Structure 1
Amino acid sequence: MIRQRLIRYSVYRNMFLSFVLLTAGIIALVTVVLFALFSWSTAREVGNISESMLKQNSAVSSVIKDEVYNIGNSLLADQQVISALFDSNNDQLKRYNAMFALRRMQSTYPYIQSIGLYNGLTDSYMNTTGISYDQERPLLRQIVQKNSSYFNLFPRKVTVPGSSTDRQVLTFVLLPSYYSLIPEQGAILINIDSEYIQSLIGGYKNGAADELFVVNAKGQVLTHSESERFLTDMSEDANIQHILKTEQESGYFTDGKHQLVTFVKSPDLDWMFVSVSDYKNLLFNMNLLKWSALGLAILIFALSLGVSLWLTNHAYNPLRHLLDKMLPAGKTKLGTMRLNEFALLDDSYSQLKERLSAMESAASRGQQAELVQMLKGGNPLQYERFKQQFPAKRYSVMVILVDKLSAFRNNRDAEARSFVYAAIYKMAEEILGHNEARMAIAEEGMIAGVIKASDGPNPTQPGSAFMELQSRIYEQLGVSVTIGIGSSAHEYDELCASFEKACTCVQQRFLHGAGQIYFYGLDEDVSTESKEYPHKFETSIIEAIKSQQRFRLNREIEQWLLGIRDCEYHEALFYMNQLVGSLYRQFHARTLRDHTVSASFSQFIHHIDVYETLEEIGDSLKELAHRLCDEMEEASNTRYKKIVTDIRMFVEKHYMRPDLSLEMVASEVSLSRSYVGKLFKAHCQISFNDYLNEVRLTKARELLVSSDMPVQLVSEQVGVYNTTYFYTLFKKHYKMSPAQFRQQENVGTGAVQ
């Protein structure tokens, strides 16, 4: 039975496929979202681990700095080194003794590549590895000119005598004269091999990291897991620029190459330790997770097929019963041919409609249909037949438009509406004269007609007949109408143009009000220049919504509407769409969690051309803007209540910590101290410190009653380590000391017992 329905009945088949596609889409969406959430949480944990491991590397900077200071202090404490450093005679014996001391120090620290001593008095230089004064001349000149601090660092490459390759070193320069009253210049140069620093970092290196390196504040590489990158300028690298700009001391982020970048800034030196890892090396077993999620999704989809079939049967039952009632008994049983249920119903409905239409006046309907077709662009033959039946030298087209059509449609059923339309065009023919006008119902809410016009290109002049027609329609039918009169026409093309101009005339009710009579060329304001969009008032409307200034909001909307009142109709609609689009972009992403407000935007846009007057569309715009204000206010209150609740829960959990303070709580909720203090007091009617003391005193009271714990220990248990201050707080709050309170409670308990 089910298989036969799926094959033969297209609607049943489409319903089943729709349910299947719906469930498949939901399953796919849920699976993708869960997988994405898992990937995100895993990446976050990996980032935290990578950051923690990299923080261990930052200790390298402290170790190196301390070692350099120790070496420098040891050398400055050596009399032989000092003698050579400030020798004004360039004594060779002093130089020999100083060299011996420097080499002894180098042998003590194997990671030192070389040690140099510069004497500013004699402009001489010595080095433990034989590096000459000429080789060091640029650096020494830079040191003498700079002399800005005691401790200086110069990463560079040096050529050691007897070696064919340059050595990568970090040269730490100590300037004793910086802190000394001695005017002469002198310097100690300690060259540490960069490979030694890389070996220290490598000891902490995460096995998943692809790159591990150190850069200074200028973005220059001091050491790198790839030794050829030494002294490379990475200041233009996007990742390094991000690290240099951020104020965080450590952290991690992902770049556009699916890599996890972790950084830690050294507190001792202007070094930044950076590791770069490929995501695929960090997230393990992701393929297994993908296939598991896919398998689970397929299993659930298989189960959903049965559910879709059950839903299709239940949803199809009303249509099946309707087919059984409306169609002949054998029409749905046509062998094995495929059927379209809606086509069968449409065929039956068409036959019924034809039988009903045959009961109406065929002649009257035919004349009206031919007149409407002629006005909307039929053919010249229709116009020639019309001229024979209704002769005149010139014609004008009039259009009668029912005002407030939506309310009119909602308050009357189809039969009553048809009666009103028929009555309007009969009244028009009666008042204007059957020999002077031919009327027809053009479409719902619109009655069109051709009237005889005076000679000349100008349209029919205003007369009492049109005002009498408006008045009688309102008095007898209770319906307000707007009338538009087109230009005078002699030829068929001119008549069609007159109809279009009459329609343009009645559109003016949007800007100038309904219930009026508009004449083309007289009342229509034809402007060839587009009016400038009122950007200033749009900005003011957005600011009023953000600041919750509802009175100002209404005023700014009125000013905006006034700014487009002189526009052409379609231009005004375009500007209205532009304003609503701006409001949607400004507030949709972060504000419109209420689906009803979002739906209001959609409804406003889809029905914007239904509004008949600028006042109507202004009222709807104000309603929409005020709903945005309500939604923003509700969202703000909800967020503030949650923040205060989180603060109170944090205090309840950590009240025993002596360092618990408003700063700590503000850090927990990622807000400033002053803002949290004001927010807490506004919602709880009590300051944060008073609330903290109240919680602590309540806990202390419970401990005093339920235990024999000394008062000092009770004070420490609730986070107040100053017993005197605890006594003061307790007595101020309970009007007695802790000991008196315990004694009173014990007496009361004993009396009860």
Structure 2
Amino acid sequence: MRLKHYEDNGKLFIRLLLSITLCIVVTLVVSSAILFTLFNRIALKQVYQSDLAALNQTSKEVVGMTESAQTLSFQLYQNLTISKLMFYAKPSIYDSVAAMQELSNYLNSMPFIKSIYVYNPNSPYVYLSSNSKQNGLLAPSELADQDILKMLDDYQDYKPFTPIPRTIPVDVDSTERQAVYTYLCYDAIGLTDKVNSAIIVNIDAQWINRDIGSHNGQANNGKSFIIDNRGRLLSGDNLLVGRSGDEATTLIHRIVADEDSDYFIDQSGGEKSLVSYTKPDSLEWRYVRITPYSDVTRQVNGIRVLTIAVAAAILAAGLIASFVLSRRLFMPIDRMASRMRTLETEKRNSLLTLRQDILRNLVLGREALNPRPLRRRMDDLGIEFDFQNEYRMALLAIDRFQSFSDSSGPDARVYKYAIMNICYELASQSYKVETVDMDADGVLLLLGNSQAAPFDDQELLESVLRHIQQAILEHLRIGVTIAYTDADSHAVHVHTMYKRVKQAAQHRLFEGYRALIRASDVIMPMLKEYVYPVDKEKRLIESVAAGKVDEAMQLINCMVNETRSHSVQVARWLLSHLTMVLTNVLHSLQRSHAIVFERSPEHMLATSDQPFETLQEAEAVFQALLEEVRDKLAEKRSMRHEDLIKHIHQIIDEHYGDSNLSLNWIADRLDLSPSYVGRIYKQITLNALIDVINSVRMERSIELLEGTHYSVAEIAERIGYTNPSYFYRMFKKHYGVTPTDYRRRIAGDEGKVAKG
């Protein structure tokens, strides 16, 4: 009770410690969140104030440019020379020349002016002074900037001396357009509702764009825009219509609805952004700056990370200090509790060992079958299983046991206990259960009648065993094969039943991994004596020596399948004998063909200490072995053929000048038949031998034609042709020209190079 009391105190202390820790965490999180929010607001306010100052400065510059354009327009109207173009339908040639000279002077003195138009509706011309090719007196139809004529027709839509952003053709024969500010100064007094005269000044947009676009030199991805007096959203980079769609419309309405300067956070271009804007200026224009929110809060994010890091460090230090203190306070109690747990574990393990020993000795026939003393001993150990009532056995054999043992090492016994626990948990729902570790690859499952389910229900039994197989595979990644017996009710048959289920489990060799084997289905009396097929062994040896994998595997499969009607021992003997036969064949191949295998034949095949668990495993090993033998033999043959090809090429290079050089001549030199030499050469190189001889001779003839002064007949003789005419035909077939023409061409090319 005292120990329980101490444990309760320990839980109370842990709860207090967790509560304090939670308070610290909440305090740190809340304070960090408040600081982060305040930092965000400060950062937004700073960026807004910076953007607003820059936008207001831009507004002043645009208004100043407008005033300059207005002053220029008044000067042009008041200039007597230029006014003659506006008020006289047909001014004299002298007046026209003088006025155009005045316009040119204004244009040259103000580099920000792109062009100046003088418009008189009564004149057949539009007077144009610009830096482009189109200049002078032009008929309205000849004017490249046709949009200005439409603007003059609809002059009521535009306010005088208010900049009109638009694009005009770069030149009369160009499709490229450039952005300009257009300022209209016109006289429309009268009853006709038409312009009586007008001066149009186009200012290069770049003079203002450099102040409006990426102004104030901020190192971020922000963009500037203008909302003009017509409610259009214009890009600050080129003064063209910037954005369209519902998003731009919503943005414009939100800004226009506010008569003062301000800022807000909204989505822009699919990204959260800070939108700063000015109040309307004298042109009724508003300037907008859109800055990505991530750029605004970049520094704040750094502060947030630093704050979180400091808070985490403080929290970690507090947790470490609390843990150390709690360990010091509860160390004596922990030692006492640990000692008690150790004693309980030792008692439980000792009891488990005794239970396992008595059950194992019972099924192995080492325990005396005296019913009353046996029952008394089992009751003392807490074994409730009754061998006088109906029971059956199921033996679980671990698949690929050698691999399992190598990978699990000292933990193999732990895995087997886990298998026993899974068996007990799943089978105890329908049967009385005891599990026994049989000290090899097996776990024995004893199933007794518990009245919870019909004991003779075969489908239920197989369902439970399949469920056990699946659970072991899912939780432990281990496959097991299960063999089980029919029911019995006599204690004296325990050992006999175990031998029967163990013998049935060996039929995994035929059934394969994760099989469910019923002992009564596979254990049968041997009907006839097994006779080893000596003739098939001879054919197998011949097939392996020839590298015929498919034929050899068919023979092995046939020999193995013949053992299915006999006992497992016969099949295992056959596999062992085949292993020995194949090992001898490998040694013979090593001696006769000088084949070097990556591993010795003994290691390439399973040994008697590690027998095959299934026929599929044996077939896979044999298949891999035979394929390696086939590949080694093919490699050996290929190496011999490659040496033969190299020797043939050496003979051709040394004797290409011999007129007797031919397939038969080379075959005689090699002491081989011409048909064999020709076939192997064509098979390896994909070329006929005579074609290769001719190709080598042609290559040598090129060298002699280029590097010597021998005649064509001498060259033909030197490369092995006795007939110069035949050499001529072969050379022209290969290169498309005769030897003589080829030499003349080479000489001509060298002469050109020398002159150059």
TM over 0.5: no
TM-score by length of 1: 0.44
Higher relative contact order (CA 8 A, sep 6+): 1
Q: Which has the larger radius of gyration?
A: 2
TM-score by length of 2: 0.44
